[in-house]
Structure 1
């Protein structure tokens, strides 16, 4: 595989220390016209990221030497580019660690090429389309500024990731609706059957930890046992025509 292959839909940075596996990913992405750049180590990956500013990163967690999780954290400090982590670790704690590092998605090896493509296309689509502006919504004392993608309480900012923000807005926009995990995979991540529903569970837990007064007894993002999640039925939801100023 050459260093950069020219394509149309966007540039994907492949961080993979197995050359054969990297070639497979390149061939898979090239079929859809994606440009790719391959890096075999963490240090080269960071350099390439700064040089090319890719549209998406697909990164192996178990890199030789420095972990892909460390690279993910460094990229996330300066960019909201979608990051998909690839790993053999299928335990829930492995997936949680990946999302804590700042990943937008996590796929367990071995996986079908079609599954990865669906996930990549979904992340790219979400990045290009963004969230339709609806100004600001108050959820009890939580201020969700949709235009500027910010969450505040008592005018103090709450640091949520782009995916956590989209999850919150999805629930807020349909306050009476109970979302199954599969439905949230489609709405927030852009894919359904190809997704691991634990992705939803992990993001709900992380969002609750940031926005709930008591994450163990959530009032905003509540669980409907056996069905999924919904906006708490006791919450007061009020849309404001113009965003509040800080």
Structure 2
């Protein structure tokens, strides 16, 4: 099973919004779309992996990107008109990951999203694909296999594995994982995390007596015993 990337489109033009939604859905993503009025009611992208912002004007670009960055590390791709192309450096300065100029080709849209996702994963020395024994973890395509067969993970299980697999061999603290999964620290969050780790280990064939894949660093967090490929 592949867990799809969740993408949010913020676009006022209904025809363009539907076109982008169909294009990205056909590319295998889970896509939600809204207009700017509804986005401003709740500018929260914490449930999404990437956000497409079509800025017909650049007046509120800083506010829009800032609102997303306060709650999420989702990828932000800004869509600008040709007339506003001189503002693309400003979009990067304010936290955007990439930009597109209208009109754009749908193949270019899919490619830009994929490149931005890969760049996000490999930032600061992270990896997009790694192997731990007979387990292969492809974070870009969101596929996990064990001995060549797909591993069926829940979204939260995958998010835990993503945190560990981006930097194999590096300690990831309880708080770092909890922040990614629940955004805020829940009561008894470490206990919930232990349950998730146990479920993840069972699916990866990583029994506690061996712990050859996920290592428990007592009182601190976990690390993944894997190598980049």
Normalising by structure 1, report the TM-score: 0.45
* Structure in which a larger fraction of residues adopt helix: 2
Normalising by structure 2, report the TM-score: 0.48
The higher relative CO (CA closer than 8 Å, separation ≥ 6) is in 2
